[in-house]
Structure 1
Amino acid sequence: MNYILWVLLLISAGYGQLFAQSTPDQMANVVWTSQSKNSSESMPCGGGDIGLNVWVEKGDILFYLSRSGTFDENNAMLKLGRVRVRLSPNPFTGTDFKQELKLAEGGVTIRGGNVQVNLWVDVFRPVVHVDVQSAKPLSIKAAYESWRHKDHVVQGTEFRTNSYKVPQKFDVVTRKDDIDFQGNDILFYHRNRSDAETIFDHTVRLEGMDSVKDKLFDPLKNNTFGGLMRGQNMKPIGTDTGTYAQLSFKAWAITTTKPVRSQAIEIGLNVDQTNTLDDWKAGLNKIMNDASQTQKTARQKSREWWRQFWDRSYIRLDSRDTAVMAISQNYQRFRYQLGCNAYGKWPTKFNGGLFTFDPEYVDHKYAHSPDFRLWGGGTMTAQNQRLVYHPMLKTGDFDMLKPQFDFYLRTQKNAELRSQVYWQHNGACFTEQIENFGLPNIMEYGTKRPDGYDPGMEYNAWLEYEWDTVFEFCLMMLETERYEGRDITEYVPFIESCLTFYDEHYRQLAAQRGTRPFDGQGHYILYPTSACETYKMTYNSATVISALKVILGRMLELPGKYLDTKQREKWATMLKRIPPLPFQEYDGHKTLAPALAWARIQNSEAPQLYPVYPWGIYGVGKPGLDVAINTWTYDTLVVKYRSHVGWRQHNIFAARLGLTDEAARLTKLKFRNSTHRFPTFWGPGFDWTPDHNWGGSAMIGLQEMLMQVDGKTIRLLPAWPKDWNATFKLHAPYNTTVEGRVVNGKVENLNVTPQERMRDVILP
């Protein structure tokens, strides 16, 4: 062999091996060789904070447009429309059709005959790209389709997609969009009306917050969202009408002026709260006419972003077991879905993210518009949202945590005003079913309330007194300081405000009901509380106690710059006042209890195991592991509701307890391909499809099987099957990455950065 060729081959092989470590497994790419029946057989494509559902149906390329923050007057999260691209002559009539999601570069490629169409989203600029290449000239027609071309009165179960949730005594209307040709382009937008009451106004009024309305953060006022579709040398050819999934639509179309071999179509999307419509249009024009971004450089920068995204972290399994390989592939596919909202102003929604599709293909009884999703568009349910964001710590996706943190920072003042108006004390009170403006969802708050009922309380059997769920986000904020060394100065007052609420509110409640603010041991009287949505009217809830103990302890461990002496004394005193965790017995076995006492059971969660996860008080290598395992084994309701579906986190509990067989069984079920064509469009579970808290809980469980951290300790393979071989790279506290291979239950090629952290690693 030629010497130079031999050297080049060696270099190429080495480069390929290195590059393979920083890109997703090619087997994780999703490839379809037949067209789709409908939008339920779409695949995700996105970047920045834009998501597309892409599919080919009857020779037409179709995709839905979604972007973070598209909240209308009713707090539904509206899609930005549907695009249909038709090529003539149609290249997709043969048997060589191929549609592929290329995870490494974050785009979808569609091929047929001698034609290739690439769809991708600019990560750094909110622009969708459709690039057509053909060996022979063809004509291209691109149509923007809208089902919101006229006002629509919301009816029946359709209310579930907005914040009213149920029919009202007045008409609730989804207002029409403004859509028209602008020269050769198509302009479309929805601007929330200022001359009518929005759900924000409605909620403030009915929840008795009018006295401070001018101080409240309102994300709906003047919210405007839409975009512009254009193609070079394309011209308008008029409008048309049609029906898709039983819903009528109107289409505005542009076409190439002559047959072409190459064509680029761009769709710029703008979401902003602007004082005037002209201000919003100016922002859109800036997006579309950014001279610093050529299509070539934008594509290169976006590909580079996805390359570093995949290089941050990975878990790739190698097995002949198809169920194990599904774990590997679907872990990567779902992480891609999360990466499509890396830079959104608003968090990734647990109930579909950016990738919902026509709801009748999820459940026939919901034959509504593509805007529909159960559990609302602007409602950010904390117990579900947490599972979407917890896995980002070990993947090192710290920048992607910012939208969720910012959501709480924006709404902090509103939550504090709740405490001041209702109870005349300090601290931020966050409820479970929380709106994007920090107040309880009005239906969950309850509009038919008994006379004299506490106005700050949700009159709701599932949600009453459930205020502690915010602490998991406080924990994530604290973890970013420990994991990446982030300066969390802006988060510390938020965490303190959440702690202040519990301190002041429960002393106030005790003073109203007795002569002492504390019990006989000097502890808080945490009554009434709630252990998740399941154990209600609890005395000393395990979830509340665990949250307060861990958050207060972590606050006191912060470096000196974050808290002065007076603050530290305050939180140290509060920590001493937290009561001990409750216990109970089953068949003579000591177990964790959900609370010391409770009035009723409302749901089917396992809050007695929250001291295991998320709070990490019990677990592998920690005292009392036998008590936690007893809880898993003997608590009748923990056993009864053990499942992999939706938000259930039994896979995580099993991993944290070192129960390898159970963790593996549940993880296989969690990552099993969905019932829809795209493998990680799980759901609806308890929520909607794609179920993002299903995917998030699956990711967390797999991570915990592979690596658990406690302070500076890094424990590898605490619940890892010996026959699961894998390559991995995960993040640990103190700016640490841990990477290597697992072969037959042993860790090989272990690389810990920085090297001095190797002494903190515990091998199996």
Structure 2
Amino acid sequence: MPCGGGDIGLNVWVENGEILFYLSRSGTFDENNLFPKLGRVRLNLQPNPFTAGAKFRQELKLKEGYVEITGGEGRQATMVKVWVDVFRPVVQVEVNSSQPIRVEASYENWRTQNRELLAGEKFATSLKWSKLKAIQYKDEVQPLGNDILFYHRNRDSTVFDLTVNQQHLIKVKGQLINPLHNLTYGGIMRGPNMVWAGTSSGKYSQADYTAYKLKSKTPARTHQLQMYLHVDQATTLTEWQAGLRQIIRQAEAGKKNAFRNTQKWWRQYWDRSYVLINTESASSADAAWQVGRNYQLFRYMLGCNAYGKYPTKFNGGLFTYDPVFVDAKYPFSPDHRQWGGGTFTAQNQRLVYWPMLKSGDFDLMPPQLQFYRRLLPNAELRTNVYWNHPGASFTEQIENFGLPNFAEYGLDRPAGFDPGLEHNAWLEYHWDTALEICLMVLDLERFTQQDITPYLPLLESCVNFFDEHYQYLAGRRGAKKLDQNGHLVLYPGTAAETFKMANNAAPTVAGMQTVLSRLLELPATYASTEKRARWQEMLKRVPTLSFREMQGHKTIAPAKTWERKQNTEIPQLYPVFPYGMYGIGKPDLEVAVNTWKYDTDAIKNRNYTSWHQDNIFCARLGLTAEAAAITIQKLQDSGRRFPAFWGPGHDYVPDHNWGGSGMIGVQEMLMQTDNRKIYLLPAWPLDWNAEFKLHAPYKTVVSGKVVNGKLISLEVTPKERRKDIILPKE
């Protein structure tokens, strides 16, 4: 089961009478941009309270955010508590027993020598299917008195250098942000009653490892173990070690209140938002109850990377584990995950972060939003180098240094092919997902009223790119940069990864219209009259959505034209979600409903797994039965030991965009907002009783209780927002 806090995640389990857990922390990327674990910890207690036949219980204390393991027989009763400090990068293990016991704690590392990654293993790196050799360099592990120090420091040459050279950016290399340079990560394991006990070796699952051991000095009723973790782009190893010592000093100074403060954080986390369904039965046989329970479990996993420097990864977050238990065809080390470690796929990442608005988890959003803001200089620089015009070119699959993924860029590129483009059938011209991040920033302002001035350069640069680039392309094709209506010709483009070589793709049109309109709606303090006039002119140049007749009904077209179809998305409904041009209480809802019901491309591509967002579409269209049925499919128990470890679907386990899209759908079934309007129960089934607390725009909190389809209690804060609540018609 998962356990974590701050930006640290653990997988905790008991096997053969021993407690094991993996260590993972946000921001650990090696030379190949693989996202490795920091190691594995194994605890052996003697006498062993977890032997066969003894009483045993392992519980995730969700409200307090820790794992409790109890066992024993006869007069021996032992409790082990595993928790992570939310405010400092420290993992704590506390052992309490009714009888004196001994503890042996092993730090296990499988990266003990340089090793060439197997072809399939490279899919966890930025090299993916490239035939280039990928060496995983060893970690350094050593005893320091009675402590165990472990770390990895990246070599001077990394996949960043390889990518910059590949993508013709050598002349500006010194201007590019390089997060892999001097990156050092690791930590120290120690315990106040523990002494160095030597090494041993073994094999777990598919990976050989070396164990570095501590043991208790004497038997005792209580034992403690700490792992202090540190990640930094330190100029020298000495500097990194000094930073680690500072973490230890700060943790020691605050240890008296650390657990209490962490519990307090988790309690307020659960208090600020929740969705509880059919709790009166609380039966795992009840599909709706599973939806509510797993909504909460997944939100816990999101809370474990509240304050990471990097976004929660869609393909496993902090909680990946031995891949052979995901699929037998992955006989690799615990570091493995499909679709890369330092590569962030925007179509997937967005679904992890959209639910945080209505759950009120605004403090969890900066890792995703700052990721784009931090990489803005790199995105603008590549636009300038390739096309000599302004604007930020963010590609769909983006490295943590802001460039396209090395393998996805195209490894067999034709001579003379535009170096700014990915030679990739799926990703070519796929830039518009950055507009969704822009909308997320604008929604953050609308929900919280917080100042988003630091993000304005990002928003402006993203819309500016489309306005500039498509005039640039049209100017290269002919004498006119706009069509006969004065609109941009958004060609070549793409409607997600499905409708390729598209003209005026629906997601791009909807994204530009929505983001520019919302920029113009910002309070006057955000922009000068001149800047607003520029936004208004830009908005006038955005083309309109295209439509087509399907089975005798008017529907939203995925684009004006396209040349091929190749994936399974439904981008013709992106004007519904995320861009909200259609929905409950908005004009022409029937056209969007027709698109879901009668568009044969949409029907063919319906799916509930992974990143598919059919449940969200149906909720926003008021299709209650369909929304409920797909939500049950999406948020039912995963079939793995932890109910919210979904996948692999299209991605990996645990699939975080699977859980995120499930959360969004539940929220939209309960509450939809349109500026100041708040629609309650727009797609809520009559037989789903619920208690909920959700957040709405303008610093509004809505909580209530639904029984048999009726809202029997409602509280709105502030009270004056009660007038903006709209209930379903009887």
Aligned to 1:47: 5
Aligned to 1:172: 134
* SS in structure 2 at match of 1:502: helix
Q: Contact 1:155–1:167 at 8 Å: present in 2 too? A: no
Match of 2:39 among 68, 73, 81: 81
Given residue 135 of structure 1, which amino acid in structure 2 is its aligned partner? S
After TM superposition, give the deviation of residue 406 of structure 1 in Å.
1.0
Q: Contact 2:704–2:711 at 8 Å: present in 1 too? A: yes
Aligned to 1:188: 150
Q: Contact 1:652–1:697 at 8 Å: present in 2 too? A: yes
Match of 2:191 among 224, 231, 254: 231
Q: Contact 2:31–2:155 at 8 Å: present in 1 too? A: yes
- RMSD (Å) for aligned C-alpha atoms: 0.9
Instruction: Give runs of aligned pairs for residues 47-196 of structure 1, distance below 5 A.
Output: 47-93=5-51, 94-113=53-72, 114-169=77-132, 171-194=133-156
Show CA shifts across 1:354-405 (max 9, x none).
0000001111111000000000000000000000000000001001000001
Pick which of 312-321 and 238-247 moved more: 312-321
After TM superposition, give the deviation of residue 233 of structure 1 in Å.
2.0
After TM superposition, give the deviation of residue 579 of structure 1 in Å.
1.0
Given residue 105 of structure 2, which amino acid in structure 1 is its aligned partner? A
After TM superposition, give the deviation of residue 747 of structure 1 in Å.
1.2
After TM superposition, give the deviation of residue 166 of structure 1 in Å.
2.0
Q: Contact 2:498–2:565 at 8 Å: present in 1 too? A: yes
Show CA shifts across 1:645-699 (max 9, x none).
1000000000000000000000011111012110000000000000000000000
Q: Distance in 1 between matches of 2:56 and 2:432?
A: 52
Aligned to 1:512: 476
Q: Contact 2:90–2:251 at 8 Å: present in 1 too? A: no
* SS in structure 2 at match of 1:316: strand
Q: Distance in 2 between matches of 1:112 and 1:387?
A: 39
After TM superposition, give the deviation of residue 193 of structure 1 in Å.
1.0
Q: Distance in 1 between matches of 2:704 and 2:513?
A: 34
Match of 1:659 among 616, 623, 641: 623
Show CA shifts across 1:205-235 (max 9, x none).
0000111100000000000000100001211
Show CA shifts across 1:25-49 (max 9, x none).
xxxxxxxxxxxxxxxxxx0000000
Show CA shifts across 1:254-301 (max 9, x none).
000110100110000001111010111111111112266443400000
> Is the aligned partner of 1:499 residue 2:463?
yes
Match of 1:629 among 586, 593, 614: 593
Show CA shifts across 1:328-376 (max 9, x none).
1100000000000000001000000000000011111110000000000
Q: Contact 2:106–2:214 at 8 Å: present in 1 too? A: yes
* SS in structure 1 at match of 2:698: coil
Match of 1:698 among 651, 656, 662: 662
Q: Distance in 2 between matches of 1:639 and 1:702?
A: 22
Match of 1:212 among 159, 172, 178: 172
Match of 1:251 among 193, 208, 211: 211
Given residue 536 of structure 2, which amino acid in structure 1 is its aligned partner? A
Match of 1:538 among 502, 508, 531: 502
Pick which of 727-736 and 635-644 moved more: 635-644
Q: Contact 2:130–2:407 at 8 Å: present in 1 too? A: no
Percent of aligned positions with the same letter in both sequences? 58
Pick which of 53-62 and 148-157 moved more: 148-157
Q: Contact 1:705–1:717 at 8 Å: present in 2 too? A: yes
Given residue 106 of structure 2, which amino acid in structure 1 is its aligned partner? A
Q: Contact 1:268–1:287 at 8 Å: present in 2 too? A: yes
* SS in structure 1 at match of 2:399: coil
After TM superposition, give the deviation of residue 167 of structure 1 in Å.
4.1
> Is the aligned partner of 1:470 residue 2:429?
no
Match of 1:707 among 662, 668, 671: 671
Aligned to 1:741: 705
Given residue 178 of structure 1, which amino acid in structure 2 is its aligned partner? E
Q: Distance in 2 between matches of 1:744 and 1:291?
A: 50
* SS in structure 2 at match of 1:268: strand
Given residue 208 of structure 2, which amino acid in structure 1 is its aligned partner? S
* SS in structure 2 at match of 1:92: coil
* SS in structure 2 at match of 1:585: strand
Given residue 280 of structure 1, which amino acid in structure 2 is its aligned partner? W
After TM superposition, give the deviation of residue 184 of structure 1 in Å.
0.3
CA distance 1:292–1:232, change in 2 (3 Å): closer
Pick which of 76-85 and 87-96 moved more: 87-96
Q: Distance in 1 between matches of 2:419 and 2:633?
A: 43
Show CA shifts across 1:686-713 (max 9, x none).
0000000000000000000000000100
Q: Distance in 2 between matches of 1:153 and 1:570?
A: 53
Q: Distance in 1 between matches of 2:542 and 2:250?
A: 56
Aligned to 1:317: 277
Q: Distance in 1 between matches of 2:497 and 2:448?
A: 33
Q: Contact 1:45–1:106 at 8 Å: present in 2 too? A: yes
- How many equivalent pairs are there? 719
Aligned to 1:361: 325
> Is the aligned partner of 1:388 residue 2:357?
no
Q: Distance in 1 between matches of 2:374 and 2:576?
A: 30
Instruction: Give runs of aligned pairs for residues 559-570 of structure 1, distance below 5 A.
Output: 559-570=523-534
Match of 2:201 among 233, 241, 244: 241
CA distance 1:145–1:292, change in 2 (3 Å): closer
* SS in structure 1 at match of 2:454: coil
* SS in structure 2 at match of 1:460: coil
Aligned to 2:487: 523
Q: Contact 1:326–1:673 at 8 Å: present in 2 too? A: yes
Q: Contact 1:612–1:618 at 8 Å: present in 2 too? A: yes
Q: Contact 1:362–1:684 at 8 Å: present in 2 too? A: yes
Q: Distance in 1 between matches of 2:570 and 2:254?
A: 52
Instruction: Give runs of aligned pairs for residues 669-684 of structure 1, distance below 5 A.
Output: 669-684=633-648
Taking structure 2 as the reference length, the TM-score comes to 0.98
Match of 1:376 among 335, 340, 348: 340
Taking structure 1 as the reference length, the TM-score comes to 0.93
Q: Contact 2:193–2:224 at 8 Å: present in 1 too? A: no
Q: Distance in 2 between matches of 1:293 and 1:324?
A: 46
Q: Contact 1:76–1:161 at 8 Å: present in 2 too? A: yes
Q: Distance in 2 between matches of 1:590 and 1:104?
A: 49
Aligned to 2:548: 584
Q: Distance in 1 between matches of 2:207 and 2:88?
A: 32
Residue segments in structure 1 that go unaligned for 5+ positions in a row: 1-42
Q: Contact 1:584–1:590 at 8 Å: present in 2 too? A: yes
Q: Distance in 1 between matches of 2:166 and 2:254?
A: 50
* SS in structure 1 at match of 2:197: strand
Residue segments in structure 2 that go unaligned for 5+ positions in a row: none
Given residue 698 of structure 1, which amino acid in structure 2 is its aligned partner? G
* SS in structure 2 at match of 1:445: coil
Given residue 115 of structure 2, which amino acid in structure 1 is its aligned partner? H
After TM superposition, give the deviation of residue 156 of structure 1 in Å.
1.1
* SS in structure 2 at match of 1:461: coil
